[in-house]
Structure 1
Amino acid sequence: MTVANPPRIGLTSEPFAPDPCPPLSWTTTTTAGDWVQAGADLELTTDGTRHTAYVEGDASVLVPWPFAPLVPRQTAHLRVRVHGTDGSRSKWSEPTTVTAGFLAPGEWEARFIGSGAEHPHLLRGTFRLREGVRRALLYATAFGVYDARLNGQRVDDAELKPGWTSYQWRLTYDVSDVTAHLRPGVNELGIELAGGWYTERFGFRDAASRFYQGPPAAAAQLVIEYTDGTTDTVTTGEHWRWARGPVVSASLYQGETYDARRKPDSWRPVALIDVPDVTPEPRCAPPVRVIEHRAVEQVRTTPSGKTIVDFGQNLVGRVRITVSGPAGHTVTLRHAEVLEHGELGTRPLRNAAATDHYTLRGDEVETWEPKWTFHGFRYVEIGNWPGEFDPSAVTASVMHTDMRRTGWFTTNHPLVQRFHDNVVWGMRGNFVSIPTDCPQRDERLGWTGDIQVFAPTASFLYDCDAFLRSWLRDVVAEQRAADGVVPMVVPAVIPQVPGLSEPVAAWGDAITVVPTVLHERFGDREPLESCFTAMAAWVDTVSDRCAGALLWERGIQFGDWLDPDAPPDLPGQAKTDAGIVATAYYFRSADLTARAAVLLGRDDDAHRYGDLARRIAAAFRDAYVTPSGRMMSDAPTAYALTIVFGLVTDERRAALGRRLRELVRAFGYHISTGFVGTPIICDALTATGHADAASRLLTTTECPSWLYPVTMGATTIWERWDSMLEDGSINPGQMTSFNHYALGAVADWLHQHVAGLAPAEPAYRRIRVAPVLLDTLDDAAAWHDTPYGRASAGWRREGDLVRFHVEAPPNTRAEVLLPSGVKYEVGSGIHEWAEPHLRATSARDDLSLDSDLTTVIDDPSAYQAVLGAIRDLDPDRAATFRRTTRWTPGRSLRDPLNKAPLDILDAVDKALRGLPTTSAVPERAEDLAPPDEDDART
């Protein structure tokens, strides 16, 4: 049986289309294997008239609109019927309904109004309704954040509307069908207005200041259609009134203060507000919404006697309270991500107070949740609660842009599973209107480097095509204003940040990488088309700054930011030379621009940028790679970039891989890479045949590692490997966050290589399945709702046998490469295989203080025995030994212990000689347990 699923009109499931010719996509469900679409019938009904079209062939993703363009406020119903190459034909799908949510050119009439001051306030206007209303649509926006009510009823469930864009270049409006809220006679349209991002003070510490100038302002346009075919339009203007409401103050960083006793004071005439000269455009991405509510998991009393609630998960959103008490009593809510020594850990927030205040009006029961702020938190300190505190009176509202979840990963290794869960929560908390670096401190900015490295992971986990498309519009606008430089933050609101006037590698390269990822993962050509000029401009700008050289070795660079060996307050002092990082990205952007030009049929550009990329690669090899396959900057990130970006394709590639493996071992299988190298180091290792090293790197639990934060109770990804120290204290550096998704970008390797689910063609039209078995895992699986339907891949061990499964959705094919080297090409359906694969084991030689360091570190049990023996006698010496030892060949274990007391040497020697004769398999899932929640520090 073959079933056509309801089609999607545009990029989201929102009820309003932002353009007249939205692309169309649909999926098919069938019991038939190897099903391929031969064609599809489309039926569109508008204004009672049916229109049909036929799509020839297998196209079913982002198919160009085949009908006459929609006109403003036109409602369309679309259904699809598919035909298979096997002769099958589905029934008509259920219809999808969408309304054209855009205005005609010149149709925007509303004036921007407000009180003329920064404080939150209320706006209202009245209008009289004629008989015979057919429909009414409200178009509304603000320089600031707003919420609209018609006759006292909220018009939708979106939050912090209209979201954050580069206001000086672009402003979006929201559309709502408000027909149900109208009533005969006089109606009242109300708008609550606050400053939001528009009036926020951006910057670091005392340098923070407003970027956008002027008070907040809102504009709304209500179009009322009558059954007789006529329309009325109600707009904001001079006739509206404003008043102060119960919101005393509101700031995204500082929090909200609300006095429930305050009623709107005298209504006064509004002011017409001077705002940037931009015409609002329809919102093209989903809005921010409250996605879920979480109950308190634990109530703690701090050493100082304060009450703190723990939600068990570091999240982004707000707290809702239900409380009763005397009028004028004020409850205070202070938010933080972690506890430090049992108290709320607020130092990482820097200048963000993250504190809300609610003053009771004195009714029996009052329920309140702030509207104009959001916080990153797991813990909330409840101050001045009236009467006995009941934790059921407090819930957390989780907020983020309302994207559809599309990707999952699972393994029975509990720490790796928790790590992946943390990646998901980190993305959720940082996809709030724009992709931010962190959601809690006085920053929350659209750092281009963070999304550059994380875009592949993001595109697997959530349908973020429309979200990132929208943000890219701002990137293009900001870059145009900066003469080709892609700012390090978009919207570009911090003039004092380097990179607003000079290009910075790995950050500015977001303009070439993100559109490429959207095409690869969603089959969306539009970002490449709309960003191509910007992609080319970025490469040209870098070329100009290089002054004719092919090596990018001048200007400001962040390099391999947050290298774990860099001093806490000097995170840019990485082991890898900044010129290597910059030149590698110069090559990558030139190469991606050339590939985009080929796809878009821009032959001259393809030749120009392709030739440039080849010349950069040759110069890179001449300057940085020795004939024997060593990097001049002998650090892991240098090797990873060279391998993954394809800068070396000859026999030196294998030598680079071997050296990278040696360096990973030399650092004790701890993370030794920063912001640039960490997302790709496992890719580089597996690509050159060193999955064993990647496996150890993934599952190491000592700091620095991906799993160290998990052992400390982390529920999101940290900015620093040691954001929290082992003693439970917060990293002393001035910059640390407990919710930064960038270092979680390695999850893309888990999806594509460990589970083995990767796109071989855009949108997963062809799927590449090549799982990499890790000795430290018993199983791994990933599944993803591709634009064609659900695909999955995975494996599990059953003794010495490994079973593999692959599911390809209808209208796709999968290329399967099993670890044995056997290849298959399969069509849609579920496929399974089994192969024998033994875990790596070997006979253990007698170990002693004279054993080679590499022999010890490559044997996890031996390494733990050595470390445990030292720790039992001298924990500080053990920590130093772990941190400073370089595990290189040709040196004995005695070397790094040459100054150790005899009792420690004896204890180490005894521990080694007491090991069994067979080397232990690396840590197995069944040997591990997730952190005890009672002991979790974050």
Structure 2
Amino acid sequence: MYLNKNKIKAFLFGTIICLSSSCLQSKKKDSETALHVDVFTSINWDSAKWIGYTKDHRPEKWAARDLVRNQPPMNINTWEPTEEDLKVTRRKTHPSVLLRKAFSITKEVASAEVAICGLGLYELYLNGEKVGDRVLDPAQTSYDKRAFYVRHDVTKALRKNNSLGVMLGNGFYGQNMAFAPGLSYGKPRATMVLNILYKDGTKEQIVTDESWKAHSSPILFDNIYHGETYDAREAITGWSSYKFDDTSWEPVEIMKAPTQNLLEQDLEPIRKIRTVTPIAVWKAERGWILDMGQNMTGWLAISVKEKEGTVVKMRFAEHLMPDKQNIDPASTGIHVTGNTQTDIYICKGDGTETWEPRFTYHAFRYVQIEGLSEKPDLSQFTGWLVRTDAERIGTFKSSDTLINKFYDVSMWTIEDNIQGLLSDCPHRERCAWMGDAYVVAEAASFNFDLKRLWQKTSADMETVLGVSKAHFKDPFPYDARTPANISVGKRLCLQARPDWGAATIMVPWFSYVYYGDKSIIQGAWEMMEGWMAYLDEKVQEGGIINGGFGDWCPPGGNPEMDTAPALTSTALYYQSLVSMEKMALVLEKREVANNYAETAKLVKTAFNKTFFKEKTKSYGSQTGNAFALYSGLVPKGLEQLVADDLANLIMKDKNGHYSTGIFGHRPLYTVLNDYGHDAVTKHLWSITDYPSLGFMTEEHDLTVWPEGVSNWDKNERYYRHSFNHPMQSGFAASFHESLGGIRPNEDYPGFKKFYLKPTFLEGVDWVEVTHKSPQGTIESSWKKEGEEIIWTISVPEQSEAIVQLPYYQNEQIKLNNTSVRANMFNVSSGKHIIRISNSK
């Protein structure tokens, strides 16, 4: 059984403190309130059983779908692959089921709460109504190691006569179609406890057991990757209400517990966040094509009026075929998942019918809809952005519309990939690749409150320690201390390579720095030390790590990678050592911290001996220079020369274009700006030819970042790689940390103290940036007026900011109309206006 001892100790200690504090504050609390605390702070699962229903009454036609593998490139005008081209097989999903139990109560209720774990996904009903607004619940875990239960307060919904209902879907637990059937953990099942506290102080518990009844669901097919089929003719009216006659229903089956480690989900739930309104619809070769105007993650809600038995088929894709008469699903991963993302609704025929899926989600901009009897109206469709409901805490806008678009595209890409984990893409893989989490962690943390997500991510990594074989492309042996390249589930893609595995260290570190909560460090410490020991003992040689995926997805693809994986892997090793030193000090492990610090010095020496070219003051590539500067690896006093060479590599060697993959692109613009090359940044953010950000957004109308950029031709099909990858949003940290200048201070985590070091970007008239830190909202807004820059900042209470303006003399700077003594100074909480003479 997987248990984190540190987290258990912290929970028990916190519970004791909370209860003790309550007693001290009010010894006169009555027994009803005391019992209320007991009911709502502990869940007794002893009597609850795992239940389900495995009998399959679905028609074969709808319960299974075709699976195709290893697809060759499809002909440009072909609607879909034919059986002559491909080997086609059919596979059923596990059936979705309905579970119910009726019961009565005779006393007045003080409080009532349901605790439920429904795997893979569930919806809870009480007295005919869905409980809560959560969707795709609970969040994905490695189900054999741990599973999440969720609490629902149902006090106000209880009546004298009641009925509980649970609808189950496969989710990732029962996912048996995409990639391989062996990824399934089993058929859907649930366990539940309803705790009732009566006003007389007595308690009652309703649990899942043999007394429950089961029936087939109107959902005839559900797969998290492929989609959902719903037959409205099979819908059972009132199935979760008390008066419903369930005599024809069968007894539930007692199922095996998937794990003994049931944990309450601390992560925010997935919800329907906001609507997306389609912008156009037109006649297609088959049916109609709907353009949402935005590549999004979620689903389509429909409203139709058709005859009974009409099959409305919706296929989802990011692109169209060049003739715009059919969708092109290649980029959504049909070559590995087996087919197109497809939802099917079979009409009941009783007037206007509305529907949206429950147990699947899609990533798409275009929907091809078949089966409608006439041209649909746009008002019949609503797109829902669906993601983990983490609070949005960052904003950015400027006078430059193209820069604003780059920020918006970055945020959409991140949002599209937060579904209980940070996925690499929301259609093809939906996997928590660790390298992606590292690259985007800072940009995402500036803009979303992801403290709980990073806690879960780190704990997920622990569940996959030692479960994967060593990577066949690396000379490094298997080790039980290593996680997998993917941090949760069964599709783990082998033991983590040394660069992707850096996330075990850097995700907890970034979370601590941005949110100021050291519990993630405490919980992950044993795992982090194990990973570092593995690197030290079995991976590094003389301080250098010769292996890894490398600077993934530069323009043109990985064959164009111009930086040795050894450079980026060793730089990540150095970052990890420095971060471990600092985290050890946080935990008051001074001797351990000293050991990491000494190793870091040796690695820095070896790195520069191996990769630094003294004559040119260069590491040989854009990524080499940018990543070395970002990592603090450049020899003291040579930083400016390395940055100068970086600018030359861009403007001269690459004719004004970037060549970085995900590691080099993350710090590229901030590094350029920090060393006075903001004109190069502005150039890179202004061009629209290949390769550039503008090439993707302006020339190809992309609304999220693709896995990689290639020199696409608008008149040809796009390559099948994903067009929604958050790892390419890592550079968006520069909007906050560089243009706004808001940077965390590692010595004062959670922005108790922070830096303000903006770049007043050439060609930009104004910038407005906010970040809601744990201390309060930080604001940084500047505008250019004639020969002056007026910079307005807001520092939260209990915080302090360190202003850094290295390219200006103190004579050019006034703080609140008062001259300053240096170009670096502290400002206290409150609103301040800084005026700067705009001449460097």
- TM-score with structure 2 setting the length: 0.84
**1:576–1:592: structure 2 CA closer, same or farther, 3 Å change rule?**
same
Deviations 1:579-622 (A, max 9, x none): 11111111111221111101110122112211111111111111
Q: Could you say what secondary structure the match of 2:664 adopts?
A: coil
Q: Could you say what secondary structure the match of 1:223 adopts?
A: strand
Q: Cα offset for 1:548? A: 5.1
Asked if 1:467 corresponds to 2:442, the answer is: no
2:259 alignment partner in structure 1: 277
Residue 316 of structure 2 contacts residue 363 of structure 2 at CA under 8 Å; is this kept in 1?
yes
Structure 2, unpaired ranges of 5+: 1-9, 56-93, 237-245, 469-479, 810-822
Residue 141 of structure 2 contacts residue 489 of structure 2 at CA under 8 Å; is this kept in 1?
no
**1:267–1:345: structure 2 CA closer, same or farther, 3 Å change rule?**
same
2:202 alignment partner in structure 1: 230
How does 1:153-192 map onto structure 2 within 5 Å? 153-185=129-161, 187-192=162-167
1:293 to 268, 275, 280: 275
1:491 to 462, 479, 488: 488
Q: Tell me which amino acid in the other structure corresponds to 2:291.
A: D
Q: Tell me which amino acid in the other structure corresponds to 2:183.
A: F
**1:726–1:837: structure 2 CA closer, same or farther, 3 Å change rule?**
farther
**1:176–1:72: structure 2 CA closer, same or farther, 3 Å change rule?**
farther
**1:74–1:729: structure 2 CA closer, same or farther, 3 Å change rule?**
farther
Asked if 1:705 corresponds to 2:697, the answer is: no
1:625 alignment partner in structure 2: 612
Q: Which has the larger radius of gyration?
A: 1
Residue 289 of structure 1 contacts residue 401 of structure 1 at CA under 8 Å; is this kept in 2?
yes
How does 1:729-748 map onto structure 2 within 5 Å? 729-732=716-719, 734=720, 736-748=721-733
Q: Could you say what secondary structure the match of 1:147 adopts?
A: strand
How does 1:134-145 map onto structure 2 within 5 Å? 134-145=110-121
2:68 alignment partner in structure 1: none
Q: Could you say what secondary structure the match of 2:234 adopts?
A: coil
Q: Tell me which amino acid in the other structure corresponds to 1:257.
A: T
Residue 72 of structure 1 contacts residue 102 of structure 1 at CA under 8 Å; is this kept in 2?
no
Q: Could you say what secondary structure the match of 2:665 adopts?
A: coil
Q: Tell me which amino acid in the other structure corresponds to 2:517.
A: D
Residue 215 of structure 1 contacts residue 273 of structure 1 at CA under 8 Å; is this kept in 2?
no
Q: Cα offset for 1:277? A: 2.8
2:243 alignment partner in structure 1: none
2:225 alignment partner in structure 1: 253
2:704 alignment partner in structure 1: 716
How does 1:665-676 map onto structure 2 within 5 Å? 665=651, 666-676=653-663
Asked if 1:398 corresponds to 2:336, the answer is: no
Q: Tell me which amino acid in the other structure corresponds to 1:487.
A: A
1:120 alignment partner in structure 2: 96
**1:596–1:650: structure 2 CA closer, same or farther, 3 Å change rule?**
same
Deviations 1:384-427 (A, max 9, x none): 11344222111112110011110001111111101111111111
Q: Tell me which amino acid in the other structure corresponds to 1:755.
A: G
How does 1:442-461 map onto structure 2 within 5 Å? 443-461=429-447
Q: Could you say what secondary structure the match of 2:620 adopts?
A: coil
Q: Which segment drifts farther, 510-519 or 646-655?
A: 646-655
How does 1:104-115 map onto structure 2 within 5 Å? 107-115=45-53
1:656 to 608, 630, 642: 642
Return the alpha-carbon distance in structure 1 between the equivalents of residues 395 and 417 of structure 2: 18
2:503 alignment partner in structure 1: 510
Q: Could you say what secondary structure the match of 1:196 adopts?
A: coil
Q: Tell me which amino acid in the other structure corresponds to 1:361.
A: K
Residue 622 of structure 2 contacts residue 658 of structure 2 at CA under 8 Å; is this kept in 1?
no
Residue 165 of structure 1 contacts residue 471 of structure 1 at CA under 8 Å; is this kept in 2?
no
1:216 alignment partner in structure 2: 188
Deviations 1:682-716 (A, max 9, x none): 23323333222223223332221122221022221
Residue 18 of structure 1 contacts residue 100 of structure 1 at CA under 8 Å; is this kept in 2?
no
Asked if 1:346 corresponds to 2:329, the answer is: yes
Residue 135 of structure 1 contacts residue 179 of structure 1 at CA under 8 Å; is this kept in 2?
yes
1:803 alignment partner in structure 2: 790
Residue 670 of structure 1 contacts residue 705 of structure 1 at CA under 8 Å; is this kept in 2?
yes
Residue 674 of structure 2 contacts residue 759 of structure 2 at CA under 8 Å; is this kept in 1?
no
Q: Cα offset for 1:434? A: 0.8
2:77 alignment partner in structure 1: none
Residue 667 of structure 2 contacts residue 731 of structure 2 at CA under 8 Å; is this kept in 1?
yes
Asked if 1:770 corresponds to 2:757, the answer is: yes
Residue 44 of structure 1 contacts residue 51 of structure 1 at CA under 8 Å; is this kept in 2?
no
Residue 613 of structure 2 contacts residue 620 of structure 2 at CA under 8 Å; is this kept in 1?
no
Q: Tell me which amino acid in the other structure corresponds to 2:313.
A: T
**1:794–1:23: structure 2 CA closer, same or farther, 3 Å change rule?**
farther
Return the alpha-carbon distance in structure 2 between the equivalents of residues 20 and 458 of structure 1: 31
Q: Cα offset for 1:194? A: 0.9
Return the alpha-carbon distance in structure 2 between the equivalents of residues 23 and 368 of structure 1: 47
1:754 to 739, 747, 750: 739
Residue 287 of structure 2 contacts residue 372 of structure 2 at CA under 8 Å; is this kept in 1?
no
Q: Tell me which amino acid in the other structure corresponds to 1:705.
A: S
Residue 670 of structure 1 contacts residue 704 of structure 1 at CA under 8 Å; is this kept in 2?
yes
Q: Could you say what secondary structure the match of 1:703 adopts?
A: coil
1:199 alignment partner in structure 2: 174
Residue 554 of structure 2 contacts residue 708 of structure 2 at CA under 8 Å; is this kept in 1?
no
**1:142–1:572: structure 2 CA closer, same or farther, 3 Å change rule?**
farther
Q: Tell me which amino acid in the other structure corresponds to 2:191.
A: A
Q: Could you say what secondary structure the match of 2:716 adopts?
A: coil
Deviations 1:447-469 (A, max 9, x none): 11111011111111111101221
Return the alpha-carbon distance in structure 2 between the equivalents of residues 708 and 814 of structure 1: 37
Q: Tell me which amino acid in the other structure corresponds to 2:172.
A: W
Asked if 1:267 corresponds to 2:249, the answer is: yes
**1:22–1:721: structure 2 CA closer, same or farther, 3 Å change rule?**
farther
Q: Tell me which amino acid in the other structure corresponds to 1:678.
A: H
1:582 to 538, 552, 569: 569
Asked if 1:780 corresponds to 2:767, the answer is: yes
- Indicate the percent of aligned positions where both proteins have the same amino acid: 27
Q: Could you say what secondary structure the match of 2:635 adopts?
A: coil
Deviations 1:43-77 (A, max 9, x none): 9996996499xxxxxxxxxxxxxx9xxx99855xx
Q: Cα offset for 1:538? A: 1.2
1:901 alignment partner in structure 2: none
Q: Could you say what secondary structure the match of 1:613 adopts?
A: helix
Return the alpha-carbon distance in structure 1 between the equivalents of residues 501 and 570 of structure 2: 13
1:335 to 316, 320, 332: 316
Q: Tell me which amino acid in the other structure corresponds to 2:318.
A: E
**1:234–1:808: structure 2 CA closer, same or farther, 3 Å change rule?**
same
**1:751–1:22: structure 2 CA closer, same or farther, 3 Å change rule?**
farther
1:643 alignment partner in structure 2: 629
Q: Cα offset for 1:838? A: 5.2
Q: Could you say what secondary structure the match of 1:431 adopts?
A: coil
How does 1:283-322 map onto structure 2 within 5 Å? 283-302=265-284, 304=285, 306-322=287-303
2:777 alignment partner in structure 1: 790
**1:228–1:728: structure 2 CA closer, same or farther, 3 Å change rule?**
farther
How many residues in Structure 1 have an aligned counterpart in Structure 2? Answer: 746
Return the alpha-carbon distance in structure 1 between the equivalents of residues 39 and 528 of structure 2: 31
Q: Could you say what secondary structure the match of 1:452 adopts?
A: helix
CA RMSD of aligned residues (A): 2.8
Deviations 1:231-254 (A, max 9, x none): 111111122221112110001111
**1:338–1:703: structure 2 CA closer, same or farther, 3 Å change rule?**
same
**1:319–1:593: structure 2 CA closer, same or farther, 3 Å change rule?**
same
**1:167–1:193: structure 2 CA closer, same or farther, 3 Å change rule?**
same
**1:354–1:102: structure 2 CA closer, same or farther, 3 Å change rule?**
farther
Residue 696 of structure 1 contacts residue 776 of structure 1 at CA under 8 Å; is this kept in 2?
no
Residue 314 of structure 2 contacts residue 368 of structure 2 at CA under 8 Å; is this kept in 1?
yes
Structure 1, unpaired ranges of 5+: 1-16, 25-41, 53-66, 76-98, 840-938
Asked if 1:536 corresponds to 2:529, the answer is: yes
Q: Cα offset for 1:116? A: 3.0
Return the alpha-carbon distance in structure 2 between the equivalents of residues 713 and 741 of structure 1: 17
Residue 556 of structure 2 contacts residue 709 of structure 2 at CA under 8 Å; is this kept in 1?
no
Q: Tell me which amino acid in the other structure corresponds to 2:98.
A: L
